[in-house]
Structure 1
Amino acid sequence: MKAPFSSHLQCMPFYSLAFLVSAGLCSCSGDRGSHETIASSQIVLSQGWEFRNALDSLWMPANVPGDAMTDLMQQGKLENPFAGTNERASQWVETQDWHYQCVFELMPHRGDSKRPLQELVFKGIDTFAEIRLNGNLQLKTDNMHRTHVLPISNNIQSPCTLEIALRSAVNSGKQIMDDLQLLIPTSNEKRPLDERTSSVTRKAKYQFGWDWGPRLTSCGIWRPVILRETRPMQSEDIQLSLVSLDAQEAIYEIKAPFDLESQNMRIEGPNGSRVHWNTTLKNEGNCLIKISNPELWWPRGMGRQPLYTLSWSGENQHLNVRFGIRKMQWNRTQDAFGTSFECVVNDIPFFAKGANIIPPDFFPARALNFEDRLIDAAIEANMNMLRIWGGGIYPSQSFLDKCDERGLVIWQDFMFACGMVRGDSAHKTNVKLEAIDQLKKMRNHACMGLFCGNNESMHAWENWGWPKAFDLHDEDSLATEQAYHTIFESILPHAIDSLTDLDYWPSSPMEDPNETRGMLSGDEHAWRVWFDTLDFDYFSGHRGRFASEYGLQSLPHRKTLNEVGITEWDDEALQFRQRSSMEWLKPGLDGWGMMQIYARRYTADPAQTVEASETDGTTALNRWIYLSQLTQAIGLQEAIERHRNSHGKIAGSLYWQLDDVWPTVSWSTVDHAGRWKLAHHAVKHANADCRVIWNRSNPTTSSMQLHNQSPKQLHNTELHVQWRNERGELEHEATKTTHLNPFESIELSFPSIPNESALVSWTWIGDDGGTIDAGHVLLTKPSEINWPNAHLKLIQNGNDLIVSTDSIAYGIRLQSDIDGRFTENGFLLLPGNENARHVQFLPTHHEGTTLGVHSARHFAQFQ
């Protein structure tokens, strides 16, 4: 078994398998890898489904994949839970049982042969279910995160009636708790302690409520049901394991449950051409393949993502394996700070830039519709890593395929968050089978970077007072800890060791248990900004070697609120969406109060009374939206820049959070409707691969770090730096010639800061005359500057906009009545036509859509 995060470096390839047959295709839907072909040897059962309340005899049309709440909405039996305060009126669904059924035909005989052996595959049942065929009980389920396979007996007569009786997860959880006679701590549910059931079920925890989401504990068939011919091997059974890699040759071991004869294999390169390779039989079921002159797969920004295809043909079966050639390593060695926590790809260390993600819609079957938008938002913000948080759901194969194709490395939590676990044998077996199921699906994707046992569970046990709150003492406390250690320090790491080449980190956040006290190690959830009111300079000095969580709340776009019936600041529907409470700091303090604390400190008081004006749009709601978004943008940009400038102390910066499950006030930078907040523009700039970052950690010196996180040589470049006063007037300037190799960072020092300087601006020019990076940094908080009442000038040409100003303008926010976004927003502009900014509008729908009615406001109008 690997120790927590093995100290040696690990290597790991990937694959994406397609199950193919020679027969014609049939239509399908649901969670499919981007290369999967559904043919006549497997049929998606997506038509003819019905559902009913177990207490009612009325059957109604249903969608599979789907769930009871979305089906009730479609039938007009339930109002949209996202609108107004409808969440409250929707929660009756969680206490009911729901029945689903459909009728299907088995696959027919082929000529004179017997009917082929067949099976039903349930990709996702949420959660507690009894499955019957033709009235006979065949299978019980109790885990939303597992695939269940039901062999069909040759005695079953066609047509078949498939019935799935879904039991209330809340009621089932209460029964489990009664049987345990022990409370299992969790913090996400706003329920009495003895009614918190999310920690005893294998259902997505966020569905029981979180501080950024509603409690809508539905049930359903959330991923496809497939009828297929039984095969000796499925795609998940094959593992590609990288043995060695250099510029001349890549060697893989192919592990399979039976012999893969080399004469039935071929490999195609990224451009479809035949690749030279050879194979050696290693032992039964395994063989080595050697690929000459491999093209390497890289994370976004570091190179390309070439993908190979290995094809294998057997009796009545054809498998395609798409894979990328790369070596993924985690460097955890001793250094001046303690023990490093650094991702290394193809022997090149890289700084991880990204965010935590939660399901992009509350209802999992609908979340698939937003995968592309989520990945686009990450790529456009110059990210190279995403953390899939442990309170949600495991990613679909199509999501991982897209991350393979676009170079997003995945930190994958197992689905445990902010709660302890049951220790009974049935639960441990359930978790083991879940781990095996998910590891086989994910292990060979190039994007997979790390498996993590849980989110904050041990941290909470040790720091949040759970033993006292849940009355767990002596034997009960020891039993709770033992259950935790069995799952996260035995079952999960053993499964990873036996099935993958990837590393495992037991919990996030966590320090290395082997590190000397006082030295830095592990990852950190840097929440003393927000939950402890510290200034943003905290991001230069917090513990840990990798910042895996931190963030600030803000409101979403006004259109997003309007779409769920919220038009005013004091709407109850807006106020009740605030779920972040900090009673330990001050009675009654919640997210509104905390946003106000940080906005007052860095921008202006959002709660300041304003008179509504139709001409300038300064309503209370608009003021809260603008100032909370601007403050969030300042904080996240400063955090990322401080992390990148840490001289190797911090090796990654993943903020909380990229997306939302519903329209709400939260820590997201892209709201539920896909509209960018100002912070996402700030993150995009802070994450740029080639970036100039002012050294904020020492305010008495003038120094900058230049980062080249790209494979490009940056020779004979020039950095032009200007120091300006509060009016934007030039006080001092300097130019330096620089040279940066690929994946290199350097620091440049300048003379002392002139006394009247309020900001520093720069332009980094390449040897071809093009701009590598341009930006600015304020030398004090925006709230401490008396900004002039600048007048902005906008010149429109189609979807192009030229913005200029007669005085320095900070925090310029552009808006349009057409859905879409601007290529830049929330920026600072210096006076004069020579400093005019060219911005493009990107409409969400229809390429021919023009900008329409637009406006621009800046910070001085809110100060």
Structure 2
Amino acid sequence: MIEKTELNSGWTLTCNDTGRTGLPDAIAATVPGCVNLDLLANRLIADPYVDVNEITNDWIGKTDWTYRCTFEATREDGRVQELVFDGLDTIATIVLNGEEIGRSFNMHRIYRFDVSGLLKTGENELSVTFRSAYAYGAEMEKQYGYRPNNYPGPGNLMRKMACNFGWDWGPTLVTAGIWKPVRLESWDRARLAETRVSATLAGGDGLVKVHARLARHGDAGPCRLVAEIGGVTTTAAIAPGEDMVALEITLPSPQLWWPHHLGAQPLYPLILKLIDEVSGDQLDSFERELGFRSLRLDTAADAHGSAFTFVINDVPLFIAGANWIPDDCFPSRVTAEHYAARIEEAKSANIHMLRVWGGGIFETDEFYEACDRIGMLVWQDFLFACAAYPEEEPLRSEVEAEVRDNVVRLMPHASLVLWNGNNENIWGFDEWGWRPIIKAGESWGLGYYLDLLPRLCCEFDPDRPYYPGSPYSGSMEIAPNADAHGCKHIWDVWNDVGYEVYRNYIPRFCSEFGWQAPANWATIEESVHDQPLTPQSNGVFHHQKATQGNDKLIRGLIGHLPEPKSMEDWHFATQLNQARAIRFAIEHLRSHRDICKGAVVWQFNDCWPVTSWAALDSAGRRKPLWYALKSAYDPRLLTIQPRGDGLAAVAVNERTLFWRAKIAGKRLKLDGSVLAEFEFWRLLCDRFEAKEFPLPSDIVIPGLPKDEVVVVEMLDRRAFHYFVEDIDLNLEAPRLAVDVTGMDGGYAVRVTADNFLKDLCLMADRLDPDAVVDSMLVTLLPGEGHVFAVRTAKAIVAEDITVGTVLRSANDLVAGN
């Protein structure tokens, strides 16, 4: 059996810049980790997430560093002894007992070095020296020539997390280090060098396919591979000298694995054992939990162009998704528990797909395991984003090695439903001015997306779809960001115009669209100490990485909300506008479910405290956008949309049962008096359908637009329509009553409205930084009430629920302006 010894303790770190003073000769280091975290833990740098400290850290990525440790071992003749690094970031030279054993050039792959001849019985010395990514990038630019890159740094010239070098939501914190575990492995005869496992359906049965490649040592004799799942066992013989084996297992009538909004997620443990046929010894093993589901991506031509529809267990889905970025600039400190909590937050927001974006990393096993357990679909980008990439050596071989490593590692996961070639690179070449920069015959990545990646996916993981890019229209003959084909990104709305322009688009699938807002108030206070806090104060402004981001926040309010006059109003107005913009877009896209089959909002999470497009800020606090997603992605949605010259109530049903209920509506004055009403018995919306109900003319034609609202109800779902934007709506200052009563884990805060209250929010972090509220963006008619459930360990009373600070609404922003 393989013996494994973890080498994750006893490390020290040394700065190799002799001109750098003030650092100890040896700094205590944590493995897995990175240089930046070690310096931070030893109080040798200021926290780069606080104030403008980021800029004082630039020297770290421009410096060479060495990690060292000693470890005890026993040299074992007749056995293979290997050092295994699960992740090295990035350009490294590895030395054992004074001898170089290898070099790394890729953050995204595993490195294995045979040290059988170098290992000593007793104490061994191991060092890993990391070269500056900037210095290596400068060398590579001389070799490859310039390639366009939308962001600073040489991330497109090496295989390193691209957003390390800065993005429009992330800081420039260039890391180096042993970012994943390292160990010494000892084995004899044979081991499983590569194990490819897929789980699919064959009719009503589960089909497991296993392809294994063996590494052998010496005169290894015959072996057998034994596979067991769900009480079914299969064995394959492996003759001496053979290093490949394949087997299949049929599991009768397994329970199906579903995304969480449709069903359960049964997982079946697969156990593989490599057995020596002569001695009966177990030489190696492999275990994974498998889920059984069918999967295809429908891209067939149709009356609207060509589809982009995920079909799981023969059900065409509308995807309720969000983009996922690295959850920390220093990924080694993201734990399994952290992943599970974040993914649970996505599920609670009615998200059932996370797109792992191509400027970050292939996430750790714990991420995908949590998605398997919870029923969260995963769209996985290959790691190419917003840049042109050379296809020459040595980069090409590194790409091939990392793809092989990660496809084989991740392919057993039921949650993983797509390999995507790149993020925005085909679009960039086509529309961002790259063509005249890239010389004739020069590579820029297309060969990866249309040739290398699909070939490798077909070889290793043929049961899972591959798509060349996002956005991409399915053919280089069609503009890559066309509405009628493939997947689309919508960014002109945030960058150039108002969010009402989302209605100009009905794409087949929208894999990116987003709107910015600052982090929650408590998160800002924890990370910025400006006195006073203003949108333009040094720290707040530094934590806004988008070009003209603050200007776009204000421009986005025009025509919707008044320009804020205070920091607190700026904070709430921009958060509210973000929530409304994305809710507006999603409801529009979902109302056209027959054409559009998915919305993947940019973005779900943050990697540091920042003004960004995220729904959950870096502290894990829910922004108002999180609540807007929960509402807009509700499997049963009721929305009011323009249709022709009128309005229609649109019921959208993603549940497995039909939705049949009375639909009723009113046109009201804001004081609650009824001007017109209707009732229809009954509206029937079948499962996986959007059903339109045209509203009567006396409902859709207002008398006094500034003083009227349309309210439509269907069971417990409610939709509103306004004839003018808030800036022109006769919203009065809020008049309300607050009552607070204790409940398990916190308090029930009941708010009763005396006048019309629009998008009422309880900002729980203003009560307690750790508090969480269950609901937000609640609109109340005069006399109506709503109970906010607040989880907190802090004692609160009604007087703490202050209007204008803790309780916010559009009324606050509009009344008196």
Q: Same fold (TM over 0.5)?
A: yes
Report the CA distance between 1:577 and its aligned residue: 2.7
Give the root-mean-square deviation of aligned CA atoms: 2.5
Query: Are residues 1:289 and 2:249 paired?
Result: yes
Aligned to 2:604: 658
Q: Distance in 1 between matches of 2:50 and 2:377?
A: 35
CA distance 1:256–1:278, change in 2 (3 Å): closer
CA offsets 1:333-368 (integer angstroms, 9 cap, x no match): 122210000001000011011111111111111233
Match of 1:795 among 732, 739, 742: 739
Query: Are residues 1:525 and 2:496 paired?
Result: no
Which blocks of at least 5 consecutive residues in structure 2 are unaligned? Answer: 19-23, 215-221, 276-281
Report the CA distance between 1:541 and its aligned residue: 3.0
Q: Which is worse superposed, 512-521 or 298-307? A: 512-521
Query: Are residues 1:251 and 2:198 paired?
Result: no
Q: Is the 8 A contact 1:280 1:288 kept in 2?
A: no
Report the CA distance between 1:805 and its aligned residue: 0.9
Match of 1:446 among 388, 392, 414: 414
Q: Distance in 2 between matches of 1:830 and 1:836?
A: 8
Residue correspondence of structure 1 range 534-613 to structure 2 within 5 A:
535-542=498-505, 544-567=507-530, 568-569=533-534, 570-581=536-547, 590-606=548-564, 608=565
Match of 1:118 among 72, 77, 81: 81
What is the letter of the counterpart of residue 694 of structure 2? Answer: S
Q: Is the 8 A contact 1:352 1:652 kept in 2?
A: yes
Q: Is the 8 A contact 1:107 1:115 kept in 2?
A: no
Aligned to 1:31: none
CA offsets 1:114-150 (integer angstroms, 9 cap, x no match): 5743222111111000001111100100111111111
What is the letter of the counterpart of residue 104 of structure 1? Answer: F
Report the CA distance between 1:751 and its aligned residue: 1.1
Residue correspondence of structure 1 range 852-863 to structure 2 within 5 A:
853-854=800-801, 855-863=806-814
Q: Distance in 1 between matches of 2:193 and 2:627?
A: 40
Q: Is the 8 A contact 1:240 1:255 kept in 2?
A: no
CA distance 1:323–1:708, change in 2 (3 Å): same
- State the SS of the aligned residue for 1:511: coil
Report the CA distance between 1:669 and its aligned residue: 1.4
Q: Is the 8 A contact 1:279 1:288 kept in 2?
A: no
Report the CA distance between 1:493 and its aligned residue: 1.1
Aligned to 1:220: 177
Q: Is the 8 A contact 1:660 1:671 kept in 2?
A: yes
Q: Is the 8 A contact 1:256 1:285 kept in 2?
A: yes
CA offsets 1:343-395 (integer angstroms, 9 cap, x no match): 01000011011111111111111233632232122101101111111111111
CA distance 1:152–1:703, change in 2 (3 Å): same
Query: Are residues 1:737 and 2:737 paired?
Result: no
Report the CA distance between 1:691 and its aligned residue: 1.5
- State the SS of the aligned residue for 1:255: strand
Aligned to 1:491: 452
Query: Are residues 1:130 and 2:76 paired?
Result: no
**Structure with larger RCO (C-alpha < 8 A, sep 6+):** 1
Report the CA distance between 1:851 and its aligned residue: 4.9
Aligned to 1:841: 790
- State the SS of the aligned residue for 1:373: helix
Q: Is the 8 A contact 1:693 1:706 kept in 2?
A: yes
CA distance 1:116–1:721, change in 2 (3 Å): farther
- State the SS of the aligned residue for 1:76: coil
Q: Is the 8 A contact 1:65 1:365 kept in 2?
A: yes
Report the CA distance between 1:261 and its aligned residue: 5.5
What is the letter of the counterpart of residue 690 of structure 2? Answer: S
Match of 2:403 among 410, 435, 445: 435
CA offsets 1:785-816 (integer angstroms, 9 cap, x no match): 12011212111112111111100011212124
CA distance 1:366–1:546, change in 2 (3 Å): same
Q: Is the 8 A contact 1:282 1:288 kept in 2?
A: no
Q: Is the 8 A contact 2:224 2:235 kept in 1?
A: no
Residue correspondence of structure 1 range 341-740 to structure 2 within 5 A:
341-368=308-335, 370-468=338-436, 471-472=437-438, 476-481=439-444, 484-500=445-461, 501-513=463-475, 520-533=484-497, 535-542=498-505, 544-567=507-530, 568-569=533-534, 570-581=536-547, 590-606=548-564, 608=565, 620-698=566-644, 700-715=645-660, 717-735=661-679, 736-740=681-685
Report the CA distance between 1:526 and its aligned residue: 0.5
Report the CA distance between 1:550 and its aligned residue: 0.8
Q: Distance in 2 between matches of 1:260 and 1:714?
A: 57
Aligned to 1:616: none
- State the SS of the aligned residue for 1:720: strand
CA distance 1:502–1:235, change in 2 (3 Å): farther
- State the SS of the aligned residue for 2:558: helix
Identity %: 26
Aligned to 1:762: 712
Report the CA distance between 1:653 and its aligned residue: 0.4
Q: Distance in 2 between matches of 1:726 and 1:696?
A: 21
Q: Distance in 1 between matches of 2:306 and 2:619?
A: 41
CA offsets 1:451-488 (integer angstroms, 9 cap, x no match): 111111121122222344xx54xxx342134xx23222
What is the letter of the counterpart of residue 126 of structure 2? Answer: L
Alignment length (residue pairs): 763
Report the CA distance between 1:723 and its aligned residue: 2.5
CA distance 1:544–1:690, change in 2 (3 Å): closer
Task: With the length of structure 2 as denominator, give the TM-score of the two structures.
Answer: 0.89
Q: Is the 8 A contact 2:89 2:177 kept in 1?
A: yes
Report the CA distance between 1:310 and its aligned residue: 2.2
Q: Distance in 2 between matches of 1:494 and 1:238?
A: 16
Aligned to 2:755: 807
Q: Which is worse superposed, 63-72 or 501-510? A: 501-510
What is the letter of the counterpart of residue 140 of structure 2? Answer: I
Q: Distance in 1 between matches of 2:440 and 2:728?
A: 51
CA distance 1:537–1:178, change in 2 (3 Å): same
Residue correspondence of structure 1 range 186-197 to structure 2 within 5 A:
186-189=149-152, 196-197=153-154
Task: With the length of structure 1 as denominator, give the TM-score of the two structures.
Answer: 0.84
Report the CA distance between 1:207 and its aligned residue: 0.9
Report the CA distance between 1:245 and its aligned residue: 3.0
Q: Which is worse superposed, 146-155 or 292-301? A: 146-155
Q: Distance in 2 between matches of 1:318 and 1:849?
A: 50
Q: Is the 8 A contact 1:732 1:754 kept in 2?
A: no
What is the letter of the counterpart of residue 183 of structure 1? Answer: Y
Q: Is the 8 A contact 1:524 1:543 kept in 2?
A: no
Q: Is the 8 A contact 2:195 2:210 kept in 1?
A: no
Aligned to 2:21: none
Q: Which is worse superposed, 718-727 or 375-384? A: 718-727
CA offsets 1:403-435 (integer angstroms, 9 cap, x no match): 011111111111111111123221111111111
Which blocks of at least 5 consecutive residues in structure 1 are unaligned? Answer: 1-20, 22-39, 190-195, 269-273, 582-589, 609-619, 766-770
Q: Is the 8 A contact 2:649 2:712 kept in 1?
A: no
Aligned to 1:6: none
